Each structure stands twice: as C-alpha cells, then as structure tokens.
Amino acid sequence: MIRRSKLRPFIFGFQVTLVIVFALFPFYWAVVTSMRTGSELFSSQLLPQAFKLDNYRSVLMERGFLQSVWNSLVVASTATGLALFLSLLASYSLGRVSFRGRGLLLVTILAVSMFPQVAVLSGMFELIRWLGLYNTLSGLSICYLLLVVPFTVWVLTSFMKAIPKELEEAAALDGCGPIRTLFLVFLPLLKPALATTGILAFIAAWNEFLFALTFTLSSDKRTIPVAIANLSGASQYDLPWGQIMAASVLVTLPLVALVLAFQRQIVAGLTSGAVKG
C-alpha cells in the first residue's frame, strides 16, 4: 500500500507529460523546422542545430505577407465583434423570453452549423457574387459571421439561461426595460462567456482556409492561411517548408497573446454573490 502511494505522483506526472507532449509536439516541430534551411529541413533530429532566423526574415520580406496579416485581423475582428453583438441580442430572446417555437429555432440555428463547409461553398459563392462582395474583405467577414454565429448563440444562450430570474425582476422593479437590463445587468455578468466565445470565434475566423481561398482573388485581399499556402520557393518543385513554418509560428503568436490577455476574464465566477452563497 505504501509503495503504491509513493508511485502515484510519478504515474500522474508521466500521464500529464504524455498529454502535454502529444498536444505541443506539432507546434514545437513547427518552431524547430522554421529555424532550418536547405537540407537541414530533412533532418529528423529533435533539437534545432542552430538558432537561425533567416526564414522569419524572408517571410516578413515576402511581398504582401504583412498585408495578409492585416486582412486576417480585420476580417476576424469584424466577424467576431458582429457575432458577439448579434448573439448577445439573440441569446437574450432565446434564453430569457419564452415564445412559441423557441426550441425549434434553437435547433434550427444548430442545424445550420451542421452542414460541412464544402456543401455550402458553391451556394455561398453565388450569394457573395450576387451581393457584389466577391474579392472583398467585407464579403469574407460576412461568411465568417455566418460560420461562427450559430455556435456563439448557443453558448451565450446557455449562459444567459443560467442567470437567476430574480436579477431580471429586480431590474424590472428598478425601472429597466429589456435593453437596459441586457446591457447594464446581464452584459457585465456575461463577460467571461463573451471572452471565451469571442476568442473561439476569432480563432475559427483567423484560421479559416476554404472560404478565404474561394472568395478572394487578388493577393492584397488574401488572409493569412491562404497567403501561407501560396508561399512559393525558388522553383516550381521547391516547397519552402522553413518559411511556411516560420509564417505559421508568426501568426499563431497573436492568438496566444489574445488568450493570455483574456485569461482573467475566462476564469468565471463573476455571478457569485448575486444570490445566496
């Protein structure tokens, strides 16, 4: 018995290490590869041979790369901002107001997000062309909005439902209509939920490839995933792995920064103290 309890922390540590290695190895490999050039790329050594930043330099010098980063930032922020605003309004009605067909509406919203992207691609293309938004950033923003809204609505609705009814009633007695109740009482309580869903929506839009490839044409409208895929080497047969990895590492950094910035918000528990605790 005693021997077993001594072994326990080691077993636990081993399991944790396994999970961390499995989760982080691809990223580590990207970092290592990004620092290799030429034939080093094909080495299977786990540790980097040298700390070389050539690939990073050449990626940043690449024409249009920074423009693509900017495009991604604009598209992802617009889509996320609009999605949060719309789903905040939607979740209020879906979570707090009881009306006929509410359940059906919720299921429909979920059903929309069940179709694979490829299935809606051609229809969406026609729609974007008809709206005259082909090869524009606003067109892409709208596509991403449609992509993330079902999920943000669902998550926010479930958070909205969890807010005690008495708070809404107290607000009503304090003279708040639905709008003020939503923005002055519910919104502050939903901050952690908004931060979490917002980040997930932003990541989804930031990394999206298929829509971005289909709905943009010129290189000045490309977003990052497409720009990375279009990186070309010295010849037609040369795939610049080093630069691709360097670019991937570079565009992952904003996401990491974003998560760290909102970490405190994501830690929930803001509702404690509202009712008996």
Partner 1 sequence: MATVRLENIVKRFGKNTIIDNLTLEAKSNQLTVLVGPSGCGKSTLLRIIAGLERIDSGKVLLDGSDVNDVPPFHRGVAMVFQSYALYPHMTVYENLKFGLASQKLDKVEIDRRIRATAVKLHLDTYLDRKPKQLSGGQRQRVSMGRAMVRNPRVFLFDEPLSNLDASLRAKMRLEIAKLRRDLDATAIYVTHDQVEAMTLADNLVVLRGGVIEQQGSPIEVYRSPVNKFVAGFLGSPTMNFVPVKAMSGRCDVAGGGRVGYEGPGIPTEIGIRPEQLTLRGDARCRLKATVDAVEHLGDQALVYLTLPDAPEAGQVVARFLADEPIPNSKVLDLGFDPAFTVPFDVDGRALTGAIVPA
Contacting positions for partner 1 (CB under 8 A): 164, 166-167, 169-176, 184-185, 188-189, 270-277
**In terms of CB distance, is 9 or 177 closer to partner 1?**
177
The residue assigned the tokens 């943000």 is 152
**In terms of CB distance, is 120 or 274 closer to partner 1?**
274
Give the nearest distance from C-beta 80 to partner 1 in angstroms.
Answer: 23
The whole-angstrom separation of Cα 38 and Cα 123 is 43
Give the nearest distance from C-beta 102 to partner 1 in angstroms.
Answer: 17
**In terms of CB distance, is 38 or 273 closer to partner 1?**
273
The residue assigned the tokens 């990073």 is 56
**In terms of CB distance, is 97 or 260 closer to partner 1?**
97
The whole-angstrom separation of Cα 201 and Cα 148 is 6
Give the nearest distance from C-beta 178 to partner 1 in angstroms.
Answer: 11
DSSP 258: H
**In terms of CB distance, is 101 or 277 closer to partner 1?**
277
Q: How many Cβ atoms sit within 10 Å of the Cβ of residue 37?
A: 16
Do the Cβ atoms of 177 and 253 come closer than 8 Å? no
Give the nearest distance from C-beta 161 to partner 1 in angstroms.
Answer: 17
Alpha helices in the chain (DSSP H): 2-34, 54-61, 65-96, 102-112, 117-130, 137-162, 165-173, 178-180, 187-189, 191-207, 210-215, 224-229, 241-261, 263-266
**What backbone phi and psi angles, to 5 degrees, belong to 231?**
-60, 130
Give the nearest distance from C-beta 205 to partner 1 in angstroms.
Answer: 29
**In terms of CB distance, is 192 or 225 closer to partner 1?**
192
The whole-angstrom separation of Cα 205 and Cα 199 is 10
Give the nearest distance from C-beta 47 to partner 1 in angstroms.
Answer: 49
